[in-house]
């Protein structure tokens, strides 16, 4: 375990989640990071708990097991702003309340994706959820770095198109 | 190249065309070639192949019309994309920059939908005042202009992997008319444009110029005559008329946001099917209280968008559908009129591909969770096709003025649309067929995908024999105002099953001929 995550794994809720999912950890004050410190998001306006929740929500809304947390972190980073602060606080409070009603300490404490999805379904009509979901459509899938994970090749003009690079190369028909 | 013309605002001898897309751009060149002086007002900017970007959202930001519009009705677009009823272009060349290039003639029976389909409850069917025989020479000219493949001795394009999957499934089901289409994409060098390099970003503007677009063909050629001036960033606000009820000029906002007025001998409106009726409605006056050229009350009505939808199939192994032409082939067997299928009119099936970013946005808008994401996980193994069929004109599917205003303070278009039961029956039939095609080739999953924001927008200033039934006559000339013409897809009386642009272009060439003759005869 890296320095970062050692000092970071203090909050019980996140600890349990990190153990369960083995992914994200809260590191100290002001930012969250991957357990291996491969990436980190600094937070200045929202709390680490809120950012960690946003990140988990993003994963649960558009779960791709081959897409690393860092891409989801980039997609939700913009919520750490003065303008979004109130909406995030309110939205996550409502989410955590829905989680409590379902018998969990908070959203992040629900260990299975199915359990968290059931909680999300309770708030999916809210503006907060819809804004987050809508933003992810471009925030996540329009990152050029995620395209190769899906096999998508992006720009092709500079390579001369596919006329000599397999536009009709299907070999299994 | 000769210097492009420059005309005075006070020059009342010019013809003003609003919009420079497939309709307006072609009309402008055709008139200029005949010596008619033309000023085109185009709301968007100028972009050429070197400016186009192989990136879906970036290209959307560069080219798409994103000025406000509002929506109503029970179509799903009103919920998922309430401010974006259409995906069309705001630029010199209009949506001919975005288009995929499928160029099909109407079938003869489609010109007379009312006669051939009979009474369809709730549908406002009407026969066109023209027919296939009348249009044949104009189609010939349009195909030659666009360099359409598979006709005129021009070879068809090679099929990409997406097409091969589609073709194999279609033939296994017994479909006969299956090929790589009639495309306005060069399969060989033609008309000073090179052949297709199979880059696969046809919707984002063809960087090779292999696909026809008015932006880099008709418009520069018209300018080269010295008879055409294209003013970009010129947003038409209102068409003016005199006491005799003839139009006299067009007020527009120039690139600095200043209101200007270009005098005109004749005005042609070609702003696509939302903006054309909007401009007429915004041009209301004491003489035309319900909007210019709207004595019939038909301006804005009978909005059609084709019955569309997509089917995507997921396979065990990669297809890589994004490689090569976006619309790479067609099945035409279902385009016939055969009410035994439970609906009137017919539909075409055409291959389609979206890049990952657009696929995420359009596969199932609003969806989330694993049902959605596992589909995207198989993106590389997907094949795709698009349904395009004849939808029923309905009087209340219409463009009206919204209470919302744009940045110029002009009322924007509200687009109200609800499917007709015939549209739904046709779409469901096509979904079944599309899914069966992919299952024939071993699809492990098939997805009937809802219609995207409209790309084909038709019918809001329909052509009619009688003035009370429509807005323009068989030449696209207003029934009410002799020197006012409609020159885009909004003049469609009915939509037919075919992608509309070849017909828009053929009508524009024909209209130029008519206008030049009428001018020479001193009739307009
Ligand atoms: C992604 C996509 C794929 C398509 N593929 C095909 C296909 O394969 N085959 C086919 O047949 N069709 C296709 N189409 C449809 C085709 O592009 C349109 O039908 C056609 O371009 C419409 O021509 P138009 O002249 O009516 O309007 P447009 O080409 O949209 O031109 C209208 C122009 O008017 C301008 N304008 C509007 N209002 C004003 C104003 N007030 N003042 C000044 N300017 C104004 C706009 O900015 C625009 O440039 C496709 C469309 C899209 C979006
Ligand atoms: S696939 Fe062909 S037509 Fe389409 S953008 Fe590429 S070169 Fe142009």
Domain that holds residue A120: 6-144
Residue nearest to atom 30 of ligand 1 (CA): B95
- The whole-number pLDDT of residue A33 equals 66
Interface of B with A in 56-115 (CB under 8 A): 57
Question: How far does residue A162's CA lie from ligand 2's centre (Å)?
Answer: 10
Backbone φ and ψ of B235, nearest 5°? -100, 110
Residue nearest to atom 13 of ligand 1 (CA): B99
Whether A29 is covered by a domain: the verdict is yes
Please check whether residue A24 is in contact with residue A32, taking contact to mean a CB–CB distance below 8 angstroms. yes
pLDDT by 10s per residue, chain B, length 524: 567 899 999 999 999 999 999 999 999 999 999 999 999 999 999 999 999 999 999 999 999 999 999 999 999 999 989 999 999 999 999 999 999 999 999 999 999 999 999 999 999 999 999 999 999 999 999 999 999 999 999 999 999 999 999 999 999 999 999 999 999 999 999 999 999 999 999 999 999 999 999 999 999 999 999 999 999 999 999 999 999 999 999 999 999 999 999 999 999 999 999 999 999 999 999 999 999 999 999 999 999 999 999 999 999 999 999 999 999 999 999 999 999 999 999 999 999 999 999 999 999 999 999 999 999 999 999 999 999 999 999 999 999 999 999 999 999 999 999 999 999 999 999 999 999 999 999 999 999 999 999 999 999 999 999 999 999 999 999 999 999 999 999 999 999 999 999 999 999 999 999 999 999 999 99
Residue-wise burial string across B401-440, b where 16 or more C-beta atoms lie within 10 A, e elsewhere: bbeeebeeebebbbbbbebbebbebbbebbbebbbbbbbb
Q: Do the chains contact at B161 and A170, CB–CB below 8 Å? A: yes
Q: Is the pLDDT of residue A27 over 50?
A: no
Q: How far is the CA of B411 from the centre of ligand 1 (A)?
A: 21
CB contact under 8 A, A138 and B199: no
Count of alpha carbons within 13 angstroms of residue B491, beta-carbon side: 33
- Pocket of ligand 1 from Cβ distances under 6 Å: B 18-24, 41-44, 65, 87-91, 94-96, 98-102, 203, 235-236, 270-272, 275, 279, 327, 455-456, 488-489, 499-502, 504
Ligand lying nearest the CA atom of residue B351: 1
Tell me, yes or no, whether A161 lies in a domain: no
Cβ neighbors of A150 (< 8 A, separation 6 or more) are B356, B376, B377, B379, B380
Q: Indicate whether A5 pLDDT > 50.
A: no
Q: What is the mean pLDDT of residues A165-172?
A: 97
Q: Please tell me whether residue B194 adopts helix, strand or coil conformation.
A: coil
- Could B356 and A160 be called an inter-chain contact, meaning their C-beta atoms sit closer than 8 Å? no
DSSP H or E stretch at residue B432 = helix B421-440
Helix (H, G, I), strand (E, B) or coil at B279: helix
Q: Residue B476 in contact with residue B293, Cβ under 8 Å? A: no
* CA gap A43, B187 in Å, rounded: 54
Element (H, E) at A99: helix A85-101
Q: Does B172 touch chain A (CB under 8 A)?
A: no
Q: Are B185 and B325 in contact (CB under 8 A)?
A: yes
Q: What's the token pair of residue B142? A: 């349009």
The more confident residue out of B447 and A27 is B447
A133 contacts B316? CB cut-off 8 A: no
Which residue in B207, B357, B372 is closest to A157 by CB distance? Answer: B207
**Residue B456 C-alpha to ligand 1 middle, in angstroms?**
8
Cα B370 from Cα B312, distance rounded (Å): 17
B192's enclosing H/E stretch is: none
What's the start-to-end Cα distance of chain A, in Å?
A: 48
Widest distance between CA atoms in chain B: 70
Say if residue A24's pLDDT is above 60. no
How many folded domains does chain A comprise?
1
Q: Is B447 helix (H, G, I), strand (E, B) or coil?
A: strand
Q: Output the pLDDT for position B1.
A: 53
Cα–Cα nearest to B148, from B120, B174, B185, B123: B185
Assign A40 a pLDDT band (cuts: 50, 70, 90): confident
Q: Is the pLDDT of residue A135 over 70?
A: yes
Q: Is A66 in Cβ contact with B357 (below 8 Å)?
A: no
Considering only the beta carbons, identify the residue of A113, A142, A152 that sits closest to B322.
A152
**In angstroms, what separates the C-alpha of B352 from chain A's closest C-alpha?**
14
Structural domain includes residue A50: yes
Q: Do β-strands B411-416 and B70-72 pair in parallel, antiparallel, or remain unpaired? A: parallel
Element holding B389 (H helix, E strand): strand B382-389
The closest ligand to the CA of B270 turns out to be 1
Nearest-by-Cβ selection for A137 from B360, B369, B380:
B360
CB-CB under 8 Å, B160 with A168: yes
Gap from A27 CA to chain B (nearest CA, Å): 28
Residues in a beta bridge with B401: B413
Residue of A nearest to B57 (CA): A142
Tokens 């009709």 belong to A168
Residues from chain A contacting residue B158 (CB–CB below 8 Å): 167-168
The answer to whether B69 touches B24, Cβ cutoff 8 Å, is no
Q: Is B185 on the interface with A (CB under 8 A)?
A: no
Chain-centroid distance of CA B317 in Å reads 35
- The reply to whether B164 touches chain A by the CB within 8 Å rule is yes
pTM confidence score: 0.94
Report phi then psi at B196, rounded to 5: -60, 135
Residues of A in contact with B319 (CB under 8 A): 170
Contact B323 A166 (CB under 8 A): yes
Facing residue for A137 by CB, picked from B53, B316, B361: B361
Q: Does the residue A160 lie in any domain? A: no
Measured distance CA(B278)–CA(B268) in Å, rounded: 14
Q: Which residue of B has its CA nearest to A117?
A: B369
Chain A residue nearest residue B354, CA to CA: A152
Per the CB < 8 Å rule, is B317 touching A154?
Answer: no
CA nearest neighbour of B430 among B524, B510, B348, B361: B348
A74 located within any domain: yes
In a domain, A118, yes or no: yes
C-alpha B201/C-alpha B52 separation (Å) is 10
Q: Domains in chain B, please, with CATH?
A: 12-67+83-99+104-148+213-305+459-524 (3.50.50.60), 154-210+307-389+419-450 (3.30.410)
Relative to the alpha carbon of B280, which ligand is closest? 1
- pLDDT for the residue numbered A42: 80
**CB distance B353 to B310 below 8 Å:** no
Query: Is B205 in contact with B47 (CB distance < 8 Å)?
Result: yes
Residue B15, SS3? strand
Distance B235 CA to ligand 2 centre (A): 30
User: Distance, in angstroms, between A80 CA and closest chain B CA?
Assistant: 23
Tokens 């097409």 appear where?
Answer: B163
Does residue B150 contact residue B181 with C-beta atoms inside 8 Å?
Answer: yes
CB distance B208–A153 less than 8 Å?
A: no
pLDDT band of residue A25 (cuts 50, 70, 90) is very low
| Domain contains A169 | no
Write phi, then psi, for B428 (nearest 5 degrees). Answer: -65, -40
Taking a C-beta distance cutoff of 8 angstroms, is the pair B14, B519 a contact? no
Which atom of ligand 1 has the smallest separation from the CA of B270? 25
Distance CA A155, CA B201 (A): 8
> Does a structural domain hold residue A156?
no
Mean pLDDT for the stretch of residues A57-85? 96
What is residue A158's three-state secondary structure? helix
* Distance from Cα B196 to the centre of ligand 2, integer Å: 5
B384: helix, strand or coil = strand
Backbone dihedral angles phi then psi of residue B125, each to the nearest 5 degrees:
-70, 150
């Amino acid at each position: 375990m890296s320095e970062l995550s050692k000092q970071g794994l203090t909050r019980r809720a996140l600890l349990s989640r990190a153990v369960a999912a083995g992914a994200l950890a809260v590191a100290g004050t002001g930012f969250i990071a991957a357990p291996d410190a491969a990436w980190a998001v600094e937070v200045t306006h929202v709390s680490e708990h809120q950012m960690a929740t946003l990140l988990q929500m993003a994963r649960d809304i558009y779960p791709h097991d081959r897409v690393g947390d860092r891409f989801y972190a980039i997609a939700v980073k913009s919520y750490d702003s003065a303008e979004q602060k109130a909406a995030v606080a309110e939205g996550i409070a409502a989410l955590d309340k829905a989680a409590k009603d379902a018998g969990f300490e908070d959203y992040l404490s629900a260990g299975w994706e199915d359990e968290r999805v059931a909680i999300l379904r309770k708030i999916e009509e809210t503006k907060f959820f819809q804004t987050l979901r809508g933003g992810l459509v471009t925030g996540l899938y329009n990152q050029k770095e995620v395209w190769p994970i899906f096999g998508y090749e992006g720009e092709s003009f500079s390579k001369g198109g596919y006329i000599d690079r397999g536009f009709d190369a299907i070999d299994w028909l | 190249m000769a210097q492009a013309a420059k005309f005075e605002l006070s020059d009342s001898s010019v013809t003003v065309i609003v919009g420079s897309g497939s309709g307006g751009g072609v009309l402008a060149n055709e008139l200029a070639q005949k010596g008619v002086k033309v000023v085109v007002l185009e709301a968007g900017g100028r972009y050429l192949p070197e400016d186009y970007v192989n990136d879906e959202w970036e290209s959307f930001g560069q080219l798409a019309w994103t000025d406000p519009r509002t929506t109503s009705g029970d179509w799903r677009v009103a919920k998922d994309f309430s401010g974006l009823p259409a995906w069309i272009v705001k630029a010199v060349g209009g949506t001919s920059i975005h288009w995929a290039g499928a160029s099909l003639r109407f079938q003869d029976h489609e010109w007379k939908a009312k006669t051939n389909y009979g009474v369809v409850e709730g549908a406002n069917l009407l026969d066109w005042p023209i027919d296939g025989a009348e249009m044949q020479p104009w189609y010939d000219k349009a195909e030659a202009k666009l360099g359409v493949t598979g006709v005129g001795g021009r070879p068809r394009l090679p099929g990409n992997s997406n097409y091969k999957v589609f073709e194999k499934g279609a033939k296994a089901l017994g479909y006969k008319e299956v090929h790589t289409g009639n495309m306005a994409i060069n399969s060989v060098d033609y008309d000073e444009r090179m052949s297709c390099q199979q880059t696969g970003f046809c919707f984002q503007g063809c960087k090779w110029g292999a696909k026809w677009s008015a932006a880099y063909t008709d418009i520069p050629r018209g300018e080269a005559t010295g008879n055409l001036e294209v003013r970009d960033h010129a947003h038409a606000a209102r068409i003016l008329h005199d006491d005799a009820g003839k139009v006299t000029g067009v007020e527009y906002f120039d690139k600095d946001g200043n209101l200007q007025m270009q005098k005109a001998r004749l005005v042609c409106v070609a702003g696509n099917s939302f903006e054309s009726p909007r401009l007429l409605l915004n041009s209301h006056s004491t003489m035309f209280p319900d909007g210019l050229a709207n004595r019939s009350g038909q301006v804005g009505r009978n909005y059609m968008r084709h019955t569309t939808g997509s089917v995507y199939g997921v396979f065990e192994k990669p297809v890589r559908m994004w490689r090569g032409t976006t619309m790479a082939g067609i099945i035409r067997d279902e385009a016939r009129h055969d009410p035994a299928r439970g609906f009137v009119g017919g539909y075409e099936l055409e291959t389609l591909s979206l890049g990952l970013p657009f696929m995420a946005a359009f596969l199932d808008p609003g969806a989330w969770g694993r049902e959605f994401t596992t589909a995207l996980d198989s993106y590389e193994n997907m094949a795709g096709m698009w349904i395009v069929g004849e939808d029923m004109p309905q009087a209340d599917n219409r463009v009206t003025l919204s209470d919302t205003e744009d940045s110029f303070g002009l009322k924007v278009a509200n687009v109200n649309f609800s499917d007709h039961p015939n549209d739904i029956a046709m779409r469901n039939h096509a979904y079944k067929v599309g899914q069966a095609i992919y299952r024939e080739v071993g699809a492990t999953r098939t997805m009937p995908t809802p219609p995207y924001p409209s790309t084909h927008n038709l019918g809001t200033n329909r052509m009619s024999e009688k003035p009370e039934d429509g807005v323009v006559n068989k030449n696209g000339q207003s029934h009410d105002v002799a020197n006012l013409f409609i020159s885009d897809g909004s003049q469609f009386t009915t939509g037919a099953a075919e992608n509309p642009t070849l017909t828009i272009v053929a009508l524009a060439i024909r209209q130029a001929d008519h206008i030049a003759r009428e001018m020479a005869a001193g009739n307009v």
